Amino acid sequence: MVVAIINHMVVNKTIDLDDIFHALANSTRRNILAHLVEKDMTVNELAERYDMTLQGVSKHIRVLVKSGLVSQSKRGRTKKCRVNYRQLDRVSELILKYRKFWEARLDSLEEYFENPKEEN
């Protein structure tokens, strides 16, 4: 008898922030996102903007799709790409959380230097 062990974390995987940051770590993918913020585009329209093969651009788009930053709809042989702003909101929320943390620390440091306490 064969017993299959399924990792539910993998099967039911939600998009992880690691995937999003991996996608955003590449300047070409960030540039693709910038184009898609302006308007939805086909894979071919995006590929025309880069000095690389259609296959190369498609690989970048696959990473963006895997991260949830981009969604695709297919009509015939044409794939249209669109930004998924929900995932960008997740990144923005995380950055805002860290920004608040560091602003509070820097405010404390500023207060320390402006009002030093005398040492005995």
What pLDDT is stored for residue 110 in this prediction?
80
Give bridge partners of residue 81 from the DSSP assignment: 41, 72
pTM above 0.85, yes or no: no
Residues 6+ apart with CB under 8 A from 44: 54, 78
What pLDDT is stored for residue 46 in this prediction?
96
What pLDDT is stored for residue 3 in this prediction?
44
Nearest Cα residue to 65 out of 20, 14, 95? 20
Q: Which two tokens stand for residue 7?
A: 């990792």
Beta sheet of 78-83, edge-to-edge order: 41-42, 78-83, 70-75
* Residue labelled with tokens 């702003």: 85
What pLDDT is stored for residue 119 in this prediction?
52
Give the number of other CB atoms < 10 A from CB of residue 70: 24
Strands (E), 1-120: 41-42, 70-75, 78-83
Q: Which two tokens stand for residue 58?
A: 């498609």
Distance of CA 49 to the CA centre of its chain: 21
How far apart (Å, rounded) are the C-alpha atoms in residues 7 and 4?
A: 10
pLDDT along the chain (120 residues), means of 10: 41 70 95 96 95 95 96 92 92 86 79 71
